[in-house]
Chain A
Amino acid sequence: MIINHPILGPRDAAEFVYKGDASLINRPDPQSDNAAERFYEYGYLRDNPAGLHRELWFHEQGDRSWLVVTRDTTTHEITKVELARDVARAEGRSR
């Protein structure tokens, strides 16, 4: 697989480490009332779709950026690559 890095251009997927579902960006608030249950769901439950999947890849052998890759799990076709930083900012996670 080739991942089209937004800054570095097309890179071999072997340069990356795979983390999992991009919803991991949305860590629950540890102060919330149901924090234990939400952290259980965050840590252990996954949608695991057959089809389009947004997922986190870490460019360990490159610029060490985190990416959000949109990939079809039935064909391995990659349709979108974003910097995880941009995704997190757009969701108000970071300033």
Chain B
Amino acid sequence: MRYSGFRVIKEALTGHRGWGPAWRDAAPKPHYDYVIIGGGGHGLATAYYLAKEFRQSSIAVIEKGWIGGGNVGRNTTIIRSNYLLDGNEPFYEFSLQLWEGLEQELNYNAMVSQRGILNLIHSDGQRDAFIRRGNAMILNGADAELLTTEQIVARYPFLNVNNARFPIKGGLAQHRGGTVRHDAVAWGYARGADQHGVDIIQNCEVTGFQIKDGVCTGVETTRGFIGAKKVASCVAGSSSRVMGMAGMRLPIESHVLQAFVSEGLKPLLPGVITFGAGHFYCSQSDKGGLVFGGDIDGYNSYAQRGNLPVVEDVCEGGMAIFPNLGRARLLRMWGGVMDMSMDGSPIIDRTHIDGLYFNGGWCYGGFKATPASGFAYAHLLATDTPHKTATAYRLDRFAKGGMIDEKGVGNQPNLH
């Protein structure tokens, strides 16, 4: 069924009896060409592009809970492509371009809102670094603009530009950045994949891999064995647990990242802003809540909840630039489990086991990458060669010295 304004009117006049489920609740078949583990944004996007762009059939996405119930349902919904390094920037720019066409592509309202993202500058050294980053973005076909404090005040009059410790000296803006309705991304890709014949199998947890002579031929699940020519893990947050069942140790630690939403407020914050001296980022949702977050808690965790010191740190960062935030009450907070990789960048690659592929290590940048991650992973699965924007995301780059370390902090996952 195609969604349209006409359809909404027709259904409104006929009692909304014509809407069907957006995707089938499939039961597992004994064998598929491709089994994608993980029904989150990346897994569903992979299945969609594999079926649509690479014209593969016999694809299943298996998910231990319900689709979209993991990190695609618990992030701060920001999209942007303001990276510095050559290994990253073309990939994230490709992702932003896919976001721009996503709703027409999927015939699904994902509420893509290019309201702009602004990284605030607080020192001369930071201005130099942001000019460099802006130039790197422009060289890779993205947009970037250096704003003066006056230009920022005109758009964000409530910002505390004269904070004694962290005055706002300007900002790097990416006007094409913004926010997307996160759940709708998972649902839109699920519906699109389903329309191209992909089986979406929920409540189906992987319990093991069938590997013989270095070849993966399927997965054991709570709903029985499923054979596959190619098995693709796409379970960021739980990557070490899943790949551990195949005997692999990964360059990844799992960490908890918290996010927060205030009570609903009238329109206040037109775009996304980030604090440059600490770690704080904030946007306003369409329901009016201020959605914000900061650093990860900093210790290994699978608990999906964090502790109070980080709550304090995030709120202090917010108050430093955005003092009226202190008048808003916190409505909700939650934690998600991140694959924190050793260089802060993701992995999309084959493994040493034939037929077993790995996508993970998204740190806390996975949401914005969803379309490109799916496209690049589908490219790898269909052709056994990396997509041209994802050639640096190799699993063996840590052994070979090809790290993509945006912050330059080394192999300490909690600092990325």
Contact = CB atoms under 8 A, between A and B. Distances in A.
Interface stretch (B157-165, B190-198, B207-215, B302-310): B302-310
A50 B251 contact: no
Contacts of B238: 50
B309 A14 contact: yes
Contacts of A21: 253, 300
Interface residues of A, number: 26
Contact of A1 (B254, B302, B307, B412): B307
B398 interface: yes
Interface centre among A14, A19, A50, A74 (most CB of B within 10 A): A50
Contact of B250 (A1, A37, A48, A73): A48
B352 interface: no
Q: Chain B interface: which size bin? A: 20 to 34
Contact of A76 (B254, B307, B309, B412): B307
Contacts of A74: 302-303
A45 B252 CA distance: 7
Interface of B, secondary structure class, is mixed
A13 interface: yes
A12 B251 CA distance: 29
B241 interface: yes
A66 interface: no
A40 B398 contact: yes
A21 B211 CA distance: 29
A20 B399 CA distance: 20
Contacts of B307: 1, 13, 76
B301 interface: yes
B253 A45 contact: no
A41 B251 CA distance: 9
B299 A18 contact: yes
A48 B300 CA distance: 7
A52 B279 CA distance: 30
A8 to B, nearest CB: 18
A92 interface: no
B240 A46 contact: yes
B309 A44 contact: no
Nearest to A18: B299
Given A20-B253, A44-B342, A45-B249, A76 B413 contact: no
Contacts of B252: 46, 48
A41 to B, nearest CB: 8
A46 B251 contact: yes
Contact of B300 (A40, A41, A45, A73): A73
A76 B303 contact: yes
B69 interface: no
A43 B251 CA distance: 9
Contacts of B250: 45-46, 48
B298 interface: yes
Contact of A18 (B241, B244, B298, B342): B298
B411 interface: yes
Interface string B231-269: 000000010110010000111111000000000000000
Interface of B: 238, 240-241, 244, 249-254, 298-303, 307, 309, 342, 398-399, 411-414
Interface of A: 1, 12-14, 18-21, 37, 40-41, 43-50, 53, 55, 71, 73-76
Given A37-B399, A44-B398, A46-B250, 4 more contacts: A13-B299, A14-B309, A40-B399, A45-B249
27 contacts: A1-B307, A12-B309, A13-B309, A14-B309, A18-B299, A20-B413, A20-B414, A40-B399, A45-B250, A45-B251, A46-B240, A46-B250, A47-B240, A48-B241, A48-B250, A48-B252, A48-B254, A48-B300, A50-B238, A50-B254, A55-B300, A73-B254, A73-B300, A73-B302, A74-B303, A75-B303, A76-B303
